[in-house]
Amino acid sequence: MVNRRIAEILRSGQPDESLGIQGWVRTKRESKGFAFIEVNDGSSLANLQVVINQDLPDYEAILKKLNTGAAVEVTGVLLASLGKGQRIELKAETVKVYGEADPEVYPLQKKRHSFEFLRTIGHLRSRTNSLGAVFRVRNACSAAIHQFFQERGFLWVHTPIITASDCEGAGELFSVTSLDLKNIPRTENQGVDYTQDFFGKPTYLTVSGQLEAEVMAMAFSNVYTFGPTFRAENSNTSRHLAEFWMVEPEMAFCDLEGDMDLAEAFLKHIFKHVLETCPEDMEFFNQRIDNSVLATAENIINNQFERLTYTDAIKLLEKADVKFEYPVSWGLDLQSEHERYLAEQLFKKPAIVTDYPAQIKAFYMRLNDDEKTVRAMDILAPKIGEIVGGSQREERLEVLERRVQAQGLNPEELWWYLDLRRYGTVPHAGFGLGFERLVQFMTGMANIRDVIPFPRTPQSAEF
């Protein structure tokens, strides 16, 4: 008897096939002389219906064990289903119960649970319809990302998680140390004696792999990172995580135009791939979570993204017949409400805003000839605002040194980054995608804590 995955059976199983399944009971309905159980193995949102006839040996005893959450192995024969809601069902010949789930204490009974409650049982919540669908879509997004870059000859590079450089200025850092926090060794003048620490100096969790990705792009032309990054920012919101995954491609011999072209193709590819591979899960989100997710996905796939400069964006926002909470003025960063106005109301599709004022962007972004703006780009999407941020990098040594100084950074710590401009420098560009924001956007989930298996947030590092 061959065990098969339920997704595959629902897709292509035929009446009279003999097979086995293994999974967990979602529901049980008893009737006179027989019972139905719905079994799920995580391969799909839909369950396989199993019919158990009372002539099964030990029928009563087994039935008592078949509660929500119980783990079972069922063998039998597929039948065309007479009931509505499914094409096919499994007539049980043997039912083996591996592990029971006592209905008095198992927290996941049939009723609906709030996402807040489900977070307190993070070790069980993936067994629900909604979180199951989220993590299948998350996997499909991951697979689409690797596929997109590998097909184009990009190398996946693993940039370091522990870093001694704190100079990117992207927010607050977590310290990493092997010192005993109860008993920090001291230098003579009461500083921390880092010579006794594992790396011999202060180290942190990375906020971005970009600078190291640039190193690799200067050898392999096209590379991407896909790994965890960190912010010790005390933001208790539905859009912030202390630990999140980022995708950061970096391309040598590439300017901002090429960067925007790649980012647009990239986003379209991911959405297409997910709609193709997870149609049932996406339908579920559209019905149960946010009835705009399918339309938003189609909007992204089918529209050429609008492209405009920050300066033009400011003009459009100043003309807008809308009352914004935050001020609009050349030199100030765009707020989420501004970004959403542009993408959702004005263009009704994603928009790429370029050439932001230098003073609100990072030191490594390429300075334009006006000396006031940099070759940055942000992709703003309907419903979510900024989803991708990128730039052409400053490849001219003397300009980069000037920018490093101007932002108060230490050029000595950046010696190796500056070296990339000393030896064989080339125009290059890249962007960053916050992976959880993408999954949140794709699924319509309201809280980012519900799109990562084990969220890390202020005061919470459970499981």
| CB nearer to a second copy: pick between 143 and 308 | 143
90 is a contact residue toward a second copy (CB under 8 A) = no
User: Which of these ranges, 103-111, 266-274, 292-300, 335-343, lies near a second copy under the rule CB under 8 A?
Assistant: 103-111
Out of 64, 87, 158, 348, the only residue in the binding site for a second copy (CB under 8 A) is 158
For residue 194, what are its two tokens? 């880092």
Which among 380, 383, 384, 361 is positioned nearest to 372, based on CA atoms? 361
115 is a contact residue toward a second copy (CB under 8 A) = no
Out of 113, 146, 315, 402, the only residue in the binding site for a second copy (CB under 8 A) is 146
For residue 207, what are its two tokens? 């906020």
174 is a contact residue toward a second copy (CB under 8 A) = yes
* Residue 263 to residue 256: CA distance in whole angstroms: 10
Out of 199, 324, 326, 330, the only residue in the binding site for a second copy (CB under 8 A) is 199
Out of 164, 170, 275, 320, the only residue in the binding site for a second copy (CB under 8 A) is 164
Out of 12, 64, 87, 160, the only residue in the binding site for a second copy (CB under 8 A) is 160
* Residue 446 to residue 463: CA distance in whole angstroms: 22
Amino acid at 34: F
* Residue 121 to residue 106: CA distance in whole angstroms: 11
* Residue 280 to residue 133: CA distance in whole angstroms: 9
| CB nearer to a second copy: pick between 304 and 463 | 463
> Cβ contacts of residue 428 below 8 Å, gap of 6+?
214, 217, 218, 250, 251, 252, 253, 254, 392, 393, 395
User: Which of these ranges, 46-54, 121-129, 291-299, 402-410, lies near a second copy under the rule CB under 8 A?
Assistant: 121-129
Cβ–Cβ under 8 Å, residues 242 and 231:
yes
Cβ–Cβ under 8 Å, residues 377 and 331:
no
2 is a contact residue toward a second copy (CB under 8 A) = no
Out of 35, 48, 215, 429, the only residue in the binding site for a second copy (CB under 8 A) is 215
258 is a contact residue toward a second copy (CB under 8 A) = no
User: Which of these ranges, 109-117, 134-142, 306-314, 364-372, lies near a second copy under the rule CB under 8 A?
Assistant: 134-142
* Residue 49 to residue 82: CA distance in whole angstroms: 11
Which among 382, 449, 438, 387 is positioned nearest to 138, based on CA atoms? 438
| CB nearer to a second copy: pick between 245 and 441 | 245
241 is a contact residue toward a second copy (CB under 8 A) = no
232 is a contact residue toward a second copy (CB under 8 A) = yes
Q: 277 burial class (0-12, 13-18, 19+ CB within 10 angstroms)?
A: middle
122 is a contact residue toward a second copy (CB under 8 A) = yes
Here's the x/- map for a second copy, 337-376, by CB under 8 A: it reads as ----------------------------------------
Closest distance to a second copy from the beta carbon of 392 (Å): 13
User: Which of these ranges, 23-31, 81-89, 297-305, 352-360, lies near a second copy under the rule CB under 8 A?
Assistant: 23-31
Interaction with a second copy in 67-86: which residues (CB under 8 A)? Answer: 69-71, 73
253 is a contact residue toward a second copy (CB under 8 A) = yes
Closest distance to a second copy from the beta carbon of 378 (Å): 25
* Residue 120 to residue 455: CA distance in whole angstroms: 11
Which among 172, 129, 155 is positioned nearest to 42, based on CA atoms? 129
Compute φ and ψ for 45, nearest 5 degrees: -65, -40
| CB nearer to a second copy: pick between 351 and 420 | 420
Cα dist. 316→267, 343, 378, 387, 448 in Å? 25, 12, 16, 21, 31
Amino acid at 41: D
| CB nearer to a second copy: pick between 97 and 320 | 97
User: Could you give the angle at the alpha carbon of 240 between the alpha carbons of 236 and 246, nearest 5°?
Assistant: 160
Interaction with a second copy in 393-432: which residues (CB under 8 A)? Answer: 395, 416-417, 419-427
Closest distance to a second copy from the beta carbon of 309 (Å): 26
255 is a contact residue toward a second copy (CB under 8 A) = no
Out of 1, 80, 219, 446, the only residue in the binding site for a second copy (CB under 8 A) is 219
| CB nearer to a second copy: pick between 122 and 357 | 122
Closest distance to a second copy from the beta carbon of 26 (Å): 11
307 is a contact residue toward a second copy (CB under 8 A) = no
* Residue 157 to residue 226: CA distance in whole angstroms: 8
Q: Quick one: how far is CA 256 from the chain centroid?
A: 24
Cα dist. 356→311, 343, 389 in Å? 8, 17, 11
Closest distance to a second copy from the beta carbon of 395 (Å): 7
Closest distance to a second copy from the beta carbon of 104 (Å): 12
Compute φ and ψ for 203, nearest 5 degrees: -135, 160
